[in-house]
Structure 1
Amino acid sequence: MDELLLVGRVLLSLACVVGLIWYLARRFGASRPAADDREPRVRVVDRQALGRTSGVAVVAVGSRRLLVGFGEQQVALLTELGPVVERPPTVGADAVVPAPRTPDTAAAAGPLAGSVLSPQTWRATVRALQDRTVRR
């Protein structure tokens, strides 16, 4: 009988403590602003690997775009990119249809031609690194 009374007291005490924690969390936990409200949202827009553990990435922080380099030991800001301007698609009779590009003209033209984000730049970099690291 004494053991049953002891188990009942322990369960009642445990229920009181859990109820008090739940009440305090509901009462005072909602007054703090959420993390999304305090800090701008951070997301990775795109990334390109340069090696096994290194590469570059375009990171969106709020309305800013940052180009960062990352490696095994560190992350470094390379540059801040211009804001992204969204253009509505042109639809109608006077819409310009671009001519199909051949692979040679695709490398020379385009908004990313010659920049760090251009696929042709990365292909040339990989080819140069492969040429330097070929064992003979």
Structure 2
Amino acid sequence: MDTVFVALRVLLSLAAVLALLWYAQRRITRGKARGKAAELVTVVGRQGIGLKASVVVVDVEGTRFLLGVTEHAVTVLHSSDAPAASRATASDAESPSDAFAATLAGVTNIDSVSTTSQALRPRRNSQPVQASGSILSPATWKQTAAALRQIR
């Protein structure tokens, strides 16, 4: 009989704590605008172009941005007005991959937009550097450092 009363007290205490947490959560989030803040930034598409680099199309308040994203920086490569289809509701809009392709097709000369776009391109003509010499030689360590920089 005592076990039943202890179990009921534990359940009642748990219910009281959960109700208090629910009330506190409702109280804290009441002042935030849920609908508008959630759709302030919309990622239309993302395409990886290297191990640590990608191109991202983002809509922010009616403006579409083409961003170059690397491990250390985010660069605006191009910006324009967002197409009308992206301003419509999610059920009326075209698929994200089509919108991404249309935005990339709209950017005709990406080389003139930003000089940092060169950092996003993979190096294709580079020859692999092989280390040679003694492990104690400073020249060997310089060759190793150069090879590691070339890989990144």
Normalised TM-score (structure 2): 0.46
Residue 14 of structure 2 corresponds to which residue in structure 1? 14
Unaligned runs of 5+ in 2: 86-104, 112-119, 129-152
Give, in angstroms, the shift of residue 116 of structure 1. Answer: 2.0
Residue 63 of structure 1: how far off its partner (Å): 0.9
**Match among 97, 115, 126 for residue 133 of structure 1:** 126
**Residue correspondence of structure 1 range 96-115 to structure 2 within 5 A:** 112-113=107-108, 115=109
Pair 1:14–1:111, CA change in 2 (3 A) = closer
Greater RCO (CA < 8 Å, at least 6 residues apart): 2
Structure 1 counterpart of 2:75: 77
Other-structure match for 2:2 = 2
Computed over aligned residues only, the root mean square deviation of the Cα atoms, in angstroms, reads: 3.6
Q: Which 5+ residue runs of structure 1 have no aligned equivalent?
A: 88-109, 118-124
Q: Deviations over 1:42-66 (max 9, x none)?
A: 2222344332221222211121222
Residue of structure 2 equivalent to 1:52: 51
Shift of 1:86: 4.4
Shift of 1:39: 6.3
Instruction: Give identity over the alignment, percent.
Output: 28
2:110 counterpart letter in structure 1: V
Any idea what the Cα deviations from partners look like across 1:53-101, whole Å, max 9, x if unmatched?
2122221112122222111x223222451213549xxxxxxxxxxxxxx
Over residues 8-50 of structure 1, what are the superposed CA-to-partner deviations in whole Å (9 max), with x where a residue is unaligned? 3222222333334344545x25622244424652222234433
CA contact (8 A) 2:78 2:107 kept: no
Once residues 86 and 15 of structure 1 are traced to their aligned partners in structure 2, the CA distance between those partners, rounded to angstroms, is 49
Greater radius of gyration (CA): 1
Aligned counterpart, 1:121:
none
Secondary structure of 2:58's aligned partner: strand
Query: 8 Å contact 2:46–2:56 — kept in the other structure?
Result: yes
User: How many angstroms apart in 2 are the aligned matches of 1:19 and 1:41?
Assistant: 32
Separation of aligned partners in 2, 1:19 and 1:111: 53
